[in-house]
Every structure is written in C-alpha cells, then in structure tokens.
C-alpha cells in the first residue's frame, strides 16, 4: 500500500471500478440476450 494515498481516494477508485464493472456485465448480458434469446426462455 502506498501511504501517500488516503483511504477516500481508494474508496472512490473502488467505487468507479465497481460501477464500470456493473456496466460491463449489464452490457454483456444484454448482448447475450440479444444474440442467444433461447438461453433465457
């Protein structure tokens, strides 16, 4: 861990990464539903 970085900055980075991951998975699942609707019957 880098002592120069405060925990708020780390929390913010983690939050941003989680949001982008959620977006990524949401888009991925939407794409799968479009391409392979039979999987979701």
In a domain, 1, yes or no: no
Give the residue numbers spanning the domain of 32. 7-39
Q: How far apart are CA 6 and CA 41, in angstroms?
A: 48
Question: Is the full-model pTM beyond 0.75?
Answer: no
In a domain, 21, yes or no: yes
Q: How far apart are CA 37 and CA 29, in angstroms?
A: 11
Task: Specify the number of domains making up the chain.
Answer: 1
Q: How far apart are CA 7 and CA 11, in angstroms?
A: 6
SS3 sequence of 3-40: CCCCHHHHHHHHHHHHHHHHHHHHHHHHHHHHHCHHHH
In a domain, 30, yes or no: yes
pLDDT at 35: 92
pLDDT digits (tens, 9 = 90+) for 4-19: 778 899 999 999 999 9
In a domain, 13, yes or no: yes
């Amino acid at each position: 861990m880098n002592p120069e970085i405060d925990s708020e900055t780390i929390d913010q980075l983690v939050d941003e990464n989680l949001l982008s991951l959620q977006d990524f998975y949401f888009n991925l699942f939407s794409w799968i539903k479009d391409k392979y609707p039979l999987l979701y019957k």
